Amino acid sequence: MTSNAGGIQYFYGNLSLATKFMTVVKCPICGRETEFENNEFRPFCSERCKILDLGSWADESYALPAEAGELTEADWETIEKVLGDNQEDS
Ligand SMILES: [Zn+2]
């Protein structure tokens, strides 16, 4: 019984194909799928989208993520309260 041999070969053939597809990324600007490797504008699809992204940052249209060091006293009180509640449960 060697009828499975071809199937295994087929399986691994598809696996390497799937790995190749993982290097395809979606352009954060236009959502178009673009190859990650051999792409000087990555993760963008083109120079146009790269420039658009830089322009968006300059316009501050993106909200900058808050850093952990910027937590207020009220935030810490909430965190400590939640942690305390969890300990009471056990
Ligand atoms: Zn794009």
The structure tokens 């000087």 sit at: 40
d(CA 25, CA 75): 36
Taking the centre of ligand 1 as the mean of its atom positions, its distance from the CA of residue 79, in whole angstroms, is 40
d(CA 6, CA 48): 46
pLDDT of residue 5: 59
Backbone Cα Rg of the chain: 24
Residue ranges per structural domain of the chain: 5-89
Domain covering 5-89 assigned CATH 3.40.50.720 in the classification: no
Q: Give the pLDDT of the chain (90 residues) as one tens digit per residue.
A: 555 556 666 666 665 555 555 588 889 889 998 888 888 998 899 999 998 888 776 665 555 555 556 778 888 888 888 888 766 555
pLDDT of residue 37: 80
CA distances from 75 to 16, 67, 71 (A): 47, 13, 6
Taking the centre of ligand 1 as the mean of its atom positions, its distance from the CA of residue 36, in whole angstroms, is 12
